[in-house]
Amino acid sequence: MKMSNLLCRLIIVGVLAMTMTGCTGVKGQYYLGMEEYGQGQEKFKQAVAENPNDAMAQYYLGRMLLAQDKPEAALSHLKKAVKLDPADDDYHFWLGINYWSVMDYRNERKQYLKAIELNPRSTYAHLYLGHNYLDKREWKKAYDQYQFVLRKDKYDPEALYNTAVALHGVKQYKREHTALLKYLKYYPDGHVAIKAVTSLNSLGDYSWRNFYIGKRQITFIAVQFERDTAKIKTETTASLKLLGAMLKNSPKLTIDLVVHVKGKASLAKARAIAVRNYIVTYVPSVEKKQLPISWFGQAERVGAGKKAQNLSESVRFITNVK
């Protein structure tokens, strides 16, 4: 009877401990999800004061501090969480992130490797280990980590872009070219897309261009036409739709539309008119005066030095500064 009572008490204590742990985790995710980091910090600071050996409370206190850009303060708590529960791969991963924040890249790598040892399927640990290798110019190792991530999620933006960076590092330029185009297919906007287009252009491919529209640099897929005509290829109209939307939102903005066709000035003119007509038809509130046109019967010179080349056909957008 006494043994039975003891067993019951142990079970109750175990269930209570599991419940409390689960509650701590739910609270931690809530504060992170709601971005209430300061409030979360106070809650977990109190929890740690009450029980310094609560690994999860230490972990979430560290996370709250990290989220507030306080990596030095966070470090002791995440290290404590790992010490208290060394079998939790998430704790090791976030300690790695913390080490990165304080520029301790050697220990950062150790923590990602430990997280992967504990959980070989940890996508984030593989991804950030790839970043660590990339920063140290260990291109092949970085590439392998990004391929692991892409096997799990073929659309992961960081793995897609950095695959191209790693391939450039090992001078696999044709494969880099393919990787850059793949990235831009899925992620054509933002600062990383701008970097991808710059890299693509440096490889001699100008199927994408970066142009300043107003004060913003924007990536555009190059406008293309049916052979020897002014008929715009449908697959390249996305750039024109984007430009039309930007002109609509900024009625005072004026963009010079410049078209080159080597040896065919009349075709260049027809294409310039076609591009402007497409935009003002697609976005009726855009006025033609916002898109002054010019055309040249000669190639456009792009690049510089040994990478300079002539584009026999091109369309450029140039912000008109008044």
Domain boundary among 138, 173, 195: 195
Residue 117 pLDDT exceeds 60: yes
Residues 185-191 have a mean pLDDT of: 97
* Domain co-membership, 153 together with 90: yes
* Domain co-membership, 249 together with 114: no
CATH code: domain of residue 57: 1.25.40.10
- Tokens read off for 76: 């002791």
CATH code: domain of residue 237: 3.30.1330.60
* Domain co-membership, 268 together with 159: no
Range with the lowest mean pLDDT among 20-29, 43-52, 294-303?
20-29
Residue 44 lies in a domain: yes
pLDDT given at position 320: 83
Question: Closest Cα partner for 305 from 204, 222, 207?
Answer: 204
Give, for 313, the enclosing helix (H) or strand (E).
strand 313-319
Give, for 310, the enclosing helix (H) or strand (E).
strand 309-311
Range with the lowest mean pLDDT among 15-29, 89-103, 261-275, 292-306?
15-29
Residue 321 pLDDT exceeds 80: no
Q: What is the pLDDT of residues 230-268, one digit of tens each?
A: 999 999 999 999 999 999 999 999 999 999 999 999 999
- Tokens read off for 29: 């995710």
Report the mean per-residue pLDDT for the chain. 92
DSSP 286: S
Distances (CA, A) of 120 to 64, 86, 163: 26, 15, 20
Residue 86's SS3 state is coil
Question: Closest Cα partner for 82 from 128, 114, 43, 37?
Answer: 114
Residue 314's SS3 state is strand
Ordered DSSP codes for 214-266: TTEEEEEEPP-BSTTSSPBPGGGTHHHHHHHHHHHH-TT--EEEEEEETT-HH
* Domain co-membership, 154 together with 57: yes
Question: Closest Cα partner for 93 from 113, 73, 74, 66?
Answer: 113
* Domain co-membership, 239 together with 178: no
* Domain co-membership, 42 together with 188: yes
Residue 15 lies in a domain: no
pLDDT given at position 87: 98
Residue 288's domain comprises 226-302+309-319
Residue 160 lies in a domain: yes
* Domain co-membership, 171 together with 45: yes
Residue 14 pLDDT exceeds 70: no
* Domain co-membership, 166 together with 254: no
To the nearest whole percent, how much of the chain has pLDDT over 90? 89
Residue 16 lies in a domain: no
Overall number of domains in the chain: 2
